[in-house]
Amino acid sequence: MKLSRRVLLAAPAVLAARRPARAGTGPIRIGEINSYSAVPSFTLPYRNGWQLAVAQINAAGGVLGRQIEVISRDDAGKPQDAVRLAGELVEAQKVDLLAGGFLSNVGLALSDYALQNKVLFIAGEPLTDALVWQKGHRYCFRLRPSTYMQAAMLVDEAAKLPAKRWVSVAPNYEYGQSVVKWFQALLTQKRPDVSFVAAQWPALGKIDAGATAAALEEAKPEAILNVTFGADLTNFVRQGNTRGLFENRSVVSVLTGEPEYLDALGEETPEGWIVTGYPWSGDTAPANRDFVDAYRAKFTDRPAMGSVVGYALIHSIAAGITRAGGVGTEAMVDGFAGARFETPFGAAEYRAIDHQSTLGTFVGRTALKDGHGVMVDWHYVDGATALPADAEVRKLRPATP
């Protein structure tokens, strides 16, 4: 790899600026960036989750005998703000690594910053596959199941449906485009008889739900792939219910089974959708029950999917640093590759081949219970089972330094 003169000249200064944060017995500093003001329904429970994890780890003696300190910033959902904040955290706050992210375009911007500055970035929520495949590199790891993984989990159920005519609705940016691409590709592999006859691509946060529902209805589909979330999802469901869009049609929907989105839908929750999500009260596995109890004791509230992501993110960072034996960037990169960590869903690890975590998620159906949306008939899908073969991953991920 050839390095420019500018990079060679800048590297010693950057390393010198970060070196004090990596030495001694002071706290391990994590620079955390997320879209708190832009997507509070997810990011506020997420913040509760990482705060709980930090408190637990520090009470148990910290990591390598050092306490964890999280310095958090709000990117407002803007990639340029996220990059600016990353620079401030690294250069002024002397953090040892960066973590967080919600939107896929923000996650990609932070990943590029990490590559250019040789800083470790652990992405929590951004789901785009490009983060670990097409634009993957040495300094970026990702926790949550990717768009490919979520699509693969749903396709297993979608392929069982008799429907042949499909339509899709997804936000018109990296995340939405990626989910639709993989869902179509994977479903047609399993069911060559299906076709996708129409697609709607509303701008994120600006869906004209009535017009979108009408356009989908006009295509006379037998099934719908929904990728909207947040306020867009609520508006789309309301208009779809009003217009009868979902009657006698199957709907497969990414993320809709997560508590933060079911709570917003309330009594308008459509029944029978095939979804990914988190049945927080139904999963009685010991790891989840312990997490739920600790979360409710600290915050007097039920956890959401964001809570799980924030909690698991910090535990994964602690495991990676422990395996590395310190907080030097290159040592951490080597330590995170293959690091195993505990989550409310059980053990997971960061794969060495692409830095994708094997954390899975739940697949089930939506239902109404006492006026609230819930997940029923669910099962957990291990993330390791929803990834392509290593040979395919090597084709998708470029050779990077």
Do 94 and 52 sit in the same domain of this protein? yes
Whether residues 329 and 194 share a domain: the answer is: no
Six token digits for residue 335: 């330590």
Residue 396 lies in a domain: no
HEC states along the chain?
A: CCCCHHHHHHHHHHHHHHHHHHCCCCCEEEEEEECCCCCHHHHHHHHHHHHHHHHHHHHCCCECCECEEEEEEECCCCHHHHHHHHHHHHHCCCCCEEEECCCHHHHHHHHHHHHHHCCCEEECCCCCHHHCCCCCCCCEEECCCCHHHHHHHHHHHHCCCCCCEEEEECCCCHHHHHHHHHHHHHHHHHCCCCEEEEEECCCCCCCCHHHHHHHHHHCCCCEEEECCCHHHHHHHHHHHHHHCCCCCCEEEEEEEECHHHHHHHHHHCCCCCEEEECCCCCCCCHHHHHHHHHHHHHHCCCCCHHHHHHHHHHHHHHHHHHHHCCCCHHHHHHHHCCCEEEECCEEEEECCCCCEECCCEEEEEEEEECCEEEEEEEEEECHHHHCCCHHHHHHHCCCCC
Q: Do residue 229 and residue 377 come from a single domain?
A: yes
Same domain, 272 and 206: yes
**Both tokens assigned to 233:** 């999802």
Same structural domain, 18 and 126: yes
Tell me if 395 is assigned to some domain.
no
Query: 215 and 79, same structural domain?
Result: no
Same structural domain for residues 228 and 290?
Answer: no
pLDDT at position 11: 38
- Tokens 């989908």 label which residue? 216
CATH code of the domain covering residue 57: 3.40.50.2300
Look at residue 391 and tell me if it is in a domain.
Answer: no
Instruction: Specify if 74 maps to a domain.
Output: yes
* pLDDT tens, per residue, the chain with 401 residues: 333 333 333 333 333 334 343 445 799 999 999 999 998 999 999 999 999 999 999 999 999 999 999 999 999 999 999 999 999 999 999 999 999 999 999 999 999 999 999 999 999 999 999 999 999 999 999 999 999 999 999 999 999 999 999 999 999 999 999 999 999 999 999 999 999 999 999 999 999 999 999 999 999 999 999 999 999 999 999 999 999 999 999 999 999 999 999 999 999 999 999 999 999 999 999 999 999 999 999 999 999 999 999 999 999 999 999 999 999 999 999 999 999 999 999 999 999 999 999 999 999 999 999 999 999 999 999 999 999 999 999 999 986 54
Residues 152 and 194 placed together within one structural domain of the fold? yes
Please indicate, yes or no, if residue 397 is contained in any of the structural domains: no
Same domain, 160 and 276: yes
Distance of alpha carbon 7 from alpha carbon 59, whole angstroms: 41
Is residue 195 located within the same domain as residue 254? Answer: yes
Q: Token pair of 225, please? A: 């792939």
Beta-bridged to residue 363, according to DSSP, are: 276, 379
Range of the domain at 262: 148-280+362-386
Residue 401: inside a domain, yes or no?
A: no
Task: Classify residue 112: in a domain, yes or no.
Answer: yes
Q: Examine the domain organization and report whether 155 and 223 are in the same domain.
A: yes
The two three-digit tokens of residue 161, written as one number: 């449906």
Do both 187 and 258 map to the same domain? yes
Would 180 be classed as within a structural domain? yes
pTM as predicted:
0.91
- How many structural domains compose the chain? 2
